[in-house]
């Protein structure tokens, strides 16, 4: 079954998550102090309210103006789940590549930060990259600096960022609003660490279908299945909107 989900929908979901996270960060960072007084708790609650209002009013830019350096955790995992075959079918491109450089962060909307990485293409499994030797892949999370010197940072404790020099299989999609840059299909589900030839590791959640698909498989078995899926679904897909 073909499943679609737009980046716009993802960003809206992230906005709700950030608003909730802002409250958690402010309250928990102070609430953990055993000697906290009712007055300090009131100040913490007031600060949390101001952060929520800033996020609602103008997203991360307004939160950064309020805090100077706004920092929050958020979960980039999608609620729409994909098997490895689903990822192959719905991706515009599938590559085997090695991350060579961390680039700048970007803010494609108002509520979600992405960080660009340069990836050297070692094998094009699906798609037309016009013989590109390197591509730019943007990954959820990072720190973005605004013109006024303030910044916003989104941490992804449930999602491990790519490591320089390491090999991955990436399932990729594009967005017309951000030309020349690839996003992960299905969010973290679209990234698989294949550096270790004896095992493959999904960057999705352990119980996501793709992670279950690769459990116990070595790199060559995994890549053989991905290539077979690509032959079965050769036309570029759009994940997921």
Q: What is the CATH number of the domain that holds 38?
A: 2.40.50.120
Q: How far is residue 114's CA from residue 139's CA, in Å, rounded to a whole number? A: 5
| Residue-level pLDDT at 206 | 97
Q: Which residues contact 49 (CB under 8 A, 6 or more apart)?
A: none
Q: Which residues contact 160 (CB under 8 A, 6 or more apart)?
A: 203
Q: Please give the DSSP secondary-structure letter assigned to residue 56.
A: H
Q: Please give the DSSP secondary-structure letter assigned to residue 180.
A: E
Q: Which two tokens stand for residue 58?
A: 């103008």
pTM for the structure as a whole: 0.83
The number of distinct structural domains making up the chain is 1
Q: How far is residue 197's CA from residue 150's CA, in Å, rounded to a whole number? A: 43
| Residue-level pLDDT at 34 | 55
What does the pLDDT profile of the chain (241 residues) look like in tens digits? 443 444 444 444 444 344 444 433 433 333 444 556 888 888 989 999 999 999 999 999 999 999 999 999 989 999 999 999 999 999 999 999 999 999 999 999 999 999 999 999 999 999 999 888 999 999 999 999 999 999 999 999 999 999 999 999 999 999 988 999 999 999 999 999 999 999 999 999 999 999 999 999 999 999 999 999 999 999 999 876 4
| Residue-level pLDDT at 39 | 85
* Structural domain harbouring 150: 1-241
Q: How far is residue 100's CA from residue 118's CA, in Å, rounded to a whole number? A: 6
Q: How far is residue 228's CA from residue 177's CA, in Å, rounded to a whole number? A: 31
Half-sphere exposure of 114 (CA within 13 A, CB side): 22
Q: How far is residue 171's CA from residue 94's CA, in Å, rounded to a whole number? A: 5
């Amino acid at each position: 079954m073909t499943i679609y989900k737009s980046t716009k929908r993802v960003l809206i979901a992230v906005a709700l998550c950030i608003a909730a996270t802002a409250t958690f960060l402010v309250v928990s960072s102070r609430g953990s102090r055993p000697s906290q007084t009712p007055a300090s708790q009131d100040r913490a609650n007031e600060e949390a309210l101001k952060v929520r209002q800033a996020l609602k009013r103008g997203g991360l830019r307004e939160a950064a103006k309020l805090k100077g350096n706004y920092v929050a955790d958020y979960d980039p995992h999608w609620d729409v789940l994909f098997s490895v075959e689903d990822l192959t079918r719905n991706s515009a491109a599938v590559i085997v590549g090695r991350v060579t450089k961390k680039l700048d962060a970007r803010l494609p909307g108002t509520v979600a930060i992405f960080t660009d990485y340069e990836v050297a293409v070692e094998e094009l499994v699906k798609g037309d990259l016009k013989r590109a030797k390197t591509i730019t892949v943007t990954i959820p999370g990072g720190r973005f600096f605004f013109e006024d010197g303030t910044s916003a940072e989104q941490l992804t404790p449930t999602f491990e960022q790519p490591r320089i020099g390491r090999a991955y299989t990436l399932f990729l999609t594009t967005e017309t609003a951000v030309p020349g840059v690839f996003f992960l299909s299905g969010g973290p589900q679209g990234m698989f660490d294949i550096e270790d030839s004896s095992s493959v590791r999904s960057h999705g959640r352990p119980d996501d279908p793709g992670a279950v698909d690769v459990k116990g498989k070595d790199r060559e078995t995994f890549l053989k299945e991905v290539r077979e899926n690509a032959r079965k679904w050769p036309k570029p897909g759009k994940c997921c909107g």
